[in-house]
Amino acid sequence: MEISEAIKRAKENDQKAFNYLLDLFWDDVYGFQLKRVQNENDAEDITIQTFSKAFDKIGTFDDNYKFKTWLITISKNIHIDLLRKEKNSISQIVSNDDKSVYQILDESPSPEDILITDQHLAKLLRDIKKLKPRYQEVINLRYFQELSYKEICQKLGEPINNVKVKLLRAKKLLAEIIRKR
């Protein structure tokens, strides 16, 4: 399959085309982010977010540009957004001595926050049970058992890209279920 054909089919929601594009460009985007963030887990998370956003917005892709360039641009913008969020979570306080001191904002949950989170968790678990078993399993392994992608691959006996696509799909389906609530 050629890239242009895969993009055309992906615009028509062809899952095989999505998988083909993911397999073809995963290393490029991941390598780009690994150089930027110098952390494998962060690079992997940003790469997954990149493909998720790209597949959601594939209808807006302009064929006059290279698909790889489009993906890298999305990836770069996601990283910049994450840096902004990180920067906003730290406040700068200048002491009387005019020395700069950085203080991390206290984001620990209050008892009320914990209660609300527990109630949301119960709803989330009910929503997860509405997914097909293969999607329930991958969500459970990644987010509740906190396994790495490599560990999930070993446990499921599947290639890493399949696990990533399955997790991506599971998150999209779960988001749709939550929106319908």
pLDDT of 112 above 80:
no
How much is the pLDDT for 9?
93
How does pLDDT run across 37-66, given as a tens digit for each residue?
999 888 988 998 899 889 889 999 998 889
* Separation CA 155–CA 150 (nearest Å): 9
- In degrees, rounded to 5, the angle at the alpha carbon of residue 87 between the alpha carbons of residues 81 and 88 is 90
CA distances from 126 to 28, 52, 94, 116, 142 (A): 37, 24, 47, 16, 17
* C-alpha distances out from residue 159 to 85, 134, 165, 166, Å: 33, 15, 10, 11
Structure tokens given for 48? 């997954």
Tens of pLDDT, residue by residue over 126-164, are 888 999 998 899 999 988 888 888 899 999 998 887 788
What Rg value do the Cα atoms of the chain yield, rounded? 20
Q: pTM of the entire structure?
A: 0.57
Tell me the pLDDT band of 177, cut-offs 50, 70 and 90. confident
Query: Could you tell me which residue, 42 or 98, shows the higher pLDDT?
Result: 42
Q: Maximum CA pair distance of the chain? A: 65
- According to the model, what pLDDT value does residue 91 have? 46
Q: The tokens 């209808």 sit on which residue? A: 59
Give 74-100 as a DSSP string: HHHHHHHHHHHHHHHTEEEEE-TTS-E
